[in-house]
């Protein structure tokens, strides 16, 4: 299987919707966009979350189109993936667990990181 992953840090205002991390597939290329934040480690945490989430979605047969169909029109507090109705809720929650472990390993307080993410 051929895979190319393109990871970009962009201004939050350039995201496709109100999210700090986004992924989609274009042929053999996986695109991940992460909002610019005050600490590059925060951006790295989001990248890892997105990678774990996309790999688990692929494993479960959940397509980028299914995720987009849920995420793009979604309105609510927090992140669309936290919504129990999200087709990828399990994959998102597992990716968040990995993100939290990596956050701890980097010596970052989750509350500080989460506050910036939610404030975007």
Domain ranges, ordered by start, for the chain: 38-119
Rounded CA gap, 63 and 16, in Å? 17
User: What is the dihedral angle through the alpha carbons of 89, 75, 71, 8, rounded to the nearest 10 degrees?
Assistant: -110
User: Does the structure show a pLDDT above 70 at 120?
Assistant: yes
User: Does the structure show a pLDDT above 80 at 38?
Assistant: yes
Percent of the chain at pLDDT above 90?
92
Residue 46: closest CA among 119, 117, 118: 117
For 109, residues 6+ apart whose C-beta sits below 8 A from its C-beta are none
Q: What's the whole-model pTM score?
A: 0.94
What is the mean predicted confidence (pLDDT) over 32-60?
A: 97
Q: What's the pLDDT at 78? A: 86
Sequence-ordered strand ranges (E) for the chain: 4-10, 21-26, 29-35
Let me know: does 33 contact 50? Beta carbons within 8 Å: no
What is the band of 96 on the pLDDT scale with cuts at 50, 70, 90?
Answer: very high
């Amino acid at each position: 299987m051929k895979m190319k992953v393109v990871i970009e840090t962009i201004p939050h205002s350039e995201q496709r919707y109100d999210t700090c991390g986004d992924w989609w597939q274009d042929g053999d290329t996986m695109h991940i966009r992460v909002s610019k934040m005050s600490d590059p480690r925060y951006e790295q945490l989001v990248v890892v979350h997105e990678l774990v989430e996309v790999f688990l979605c692929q494993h479960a047969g959940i397509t980028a189109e299914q995720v987009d169909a849920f995420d793009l029109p979604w309105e609510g507090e927090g992140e669309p993936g936290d919504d129990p109705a999200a087709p990828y809720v399990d994959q998102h929650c597992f990716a968040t667990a990995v993100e939290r472990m990596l956050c701890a390993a980097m010596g970052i307080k989750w509350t500080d990181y989460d506050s910036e993410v939610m404030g975007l």
